[in-house]
């Protein structure tokens, strides 16, 4: 059974220091505001949606960007 097509819709979890990560994102993407980066527990998908719209990127691209900030 191939489940790769569901990968993009799996729950995404933020790990690490979100305050620091959001600061990095604002430095890298000047169009982002604090309100775009509000993270409520269990509402990571809403955050992803806001970032997709603001950055004009796909969900996969946004997840890749977020994963890169988590590794920094």
- pLDDT reading at 72 higher than 90: no
pLDDT digits (tens, 9 = 90+) for 17-32: 999 999 999 999 999 9
Question: What average pLDDT does this structure show over 61-70?
Answer: 91
* Number of domains, the chain: 1
> What is the C-alpha separation between 2 and 33, in angstroms, rounded?
39
Nearest to 14 by CA among 60, 36, 35, 45: 45
Task: Give percent above pLDDT 70 in the chain.
Answer: 83
Residue 8 counted as domain residue: no
Judged against a pLDDT cut of 90, whether residue 38 lies above it is answered with yes
pTM of the predicted model as reported, rounded to 2 decimal places: 0.80
Q: Does 61 reside within a domain?
A: yes
CA dihedral 17, 59, 25, 71 (to 10 degrees): 50
Q: Which domain, by its residues, includes 41?
A: 15-71
Sign, CA dihedral 27-17-7-10, equals negative
Structural domain contains residue 64? yes
Cα 5 to Cα 10: distance, rounded to the nearest angstrom: 10
Residue 69 has pLDDT above 90, yes or no: no
């Amino acid at each position: 059974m191939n489940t790769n097509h569901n990968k993009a819709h799996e729950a995404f979890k933020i790990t690490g220091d979100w305050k620091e990560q959001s600061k990095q994102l604002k430095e890298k993407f000047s169009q982002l505001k604090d309100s775009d980066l509000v993270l409520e527990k269990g509402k990571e998908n809403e955050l992803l949606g806001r970032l997709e719209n603001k950055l004009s990127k796909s969900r996969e691209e946004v997840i890749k960007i977020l994963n890169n900030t988590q590794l920094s």
